[in-house]
Amino acid sequence: MEEKPYKASLGSHGSDISSPDNDIRNLWTRATLSQPNLNVPRSRVGEDSDMEGSSSGTKSRRWYNQKARRDSDGGWEEWDDGEDKESFRQEDLDEPSLLELELRRAGSLRSRLEEEEDLGAGLGALGHLSLLLPLQLPLPLMELMENEALEILTKALRSYRSGIGRDHFLTKQLHGCIEGLKRRRSKRLNILGH
């Protein structure tokens, strides 16, 4: 992993974690946040496309779409209060170079990914989101997510078994998902080992 020229701040999380993995995660989750003057063509930035919210009667969708409309209206609002600057130490780095760094990394990670998940089927109200934003999550983030999901699902499996039994199709379905995650994890570890 490339060394960062600055130490990314977790902002309101409190303690600073200096490992490159965590810096990259911070960089990824907070890059392009509140950058109203970013002049990067849409074709170059696959992830930052505007989102069209679907209209429906439910309160949550109204709330979520309000946020989406705000995004499509002009991207990020300029922050006019200085108190937020201390949590944005990434301003130490130029915004274009930050984005460039990230795009380069995303490109190299993409080429390393062996398979993409099929996200087209059955995504519900926010299904269009995955179509607009192709899967470009950094590998360390994916690993973190999968490991955590594995822990949660393993505990859920115990509840399923005690609640509805081992032979119930839902228990088997959950068990199958857990096995799939374990296989992906071991595959990834094998790749990294080589």
Partner 1 sequence: MRLKQGSFLWYLYLDKLYCLLSVRNVRALLEYFHLLDVHHNNTLNDVLFYHFLHHVTSWKRTQIMIVFNMLDWNAMGEIGFDQFYMLVCILLAQQNHLEEQFIFRHSRPVFELLDLDGELRIGPDNFHMYNFLFNIKKQDLKELYHDFDITGDRRLNYKEFKLFTIFTMDKYQERQKAEKDEEKGKKDLLKKKRLHQVNVSLKQFLGINVSESRI
User: Smallest Cα–Cα separation from 142: which of 7, 21, 16?
Assistant: 21
Contact yes or no for 53/70 (Cβ under 8 A) = no
Check binding of 130 to partner 1 (CB under 8 A): yes
For 22-37, give one letter per residue: b (16+ CB within 10 A) or e. ebbbbbbebbbeebee
For residue 91, the minimal CB distance to partner 1 (Å) is 14
What is the residue whose two structure tokens read 């519900």?
A: 124
- HSE, CB side, 13 Å, CA atoms: give it for residue 138: 20
x/- track of binding to partner 1 for residues 81-120 (CB under 8 A): --xx--x-----------------------------x-x-
187 binds partner 1 (CB under 8 A): no
When asked if residue 179 is in the footprint of partner 1 (CB under 8 A), the reply is: no
- Closest separation in Å from C-beta 110 to partner 1: 14
DSSP output for 141-180: HHHHHHHHHHHHHHHHHHHHHHHH-TTSHHHHHHHHHHHH
Computed on alpha carbons and rounded to an integer, the radius of gyration of the chain in Å comes to 20
Task: Return the residues of window 63-82 that contact partner 1 according to CB under 8 A.
Answer: 63-64, 67, 70-71, 77, 79
Per the CB < 8 A criterion, the answer to whether 157 and 175 are in contact is: yes
Among 1, 135, 189, 191, binds partner 1 (CB under 8 A): 135
Alpha helices (H) along the chain: 20-30, 59-74, 95-112, 127-132, 139-164, 169-193
Q: How far is the CB of 62 from partner 1 (least distance, A)?
A: 8
Residue 2 beta carbon to partner 1: minimum distance, rounded to whole angstroms: 19
> With contacts defined by CB under 8 A, how many residues of the chain interact with partner 1?
64
Report, in Å, the least distance between residue 19 CB and partner 1: 11
Residue numbers of the site for partner 1 (CB under 8 A)?
11-13, 22, 25-26, 28-34, 47-49, 51, 58-64, 67, 70-71, 77, 79, 83-84, 87, 117, 119, 122-126, 129-130, 133, 135, 137, 141-142, 144-146, 148-149, 151-153, 155-156, 159-160, 163, 170, 173-174, 177, 181
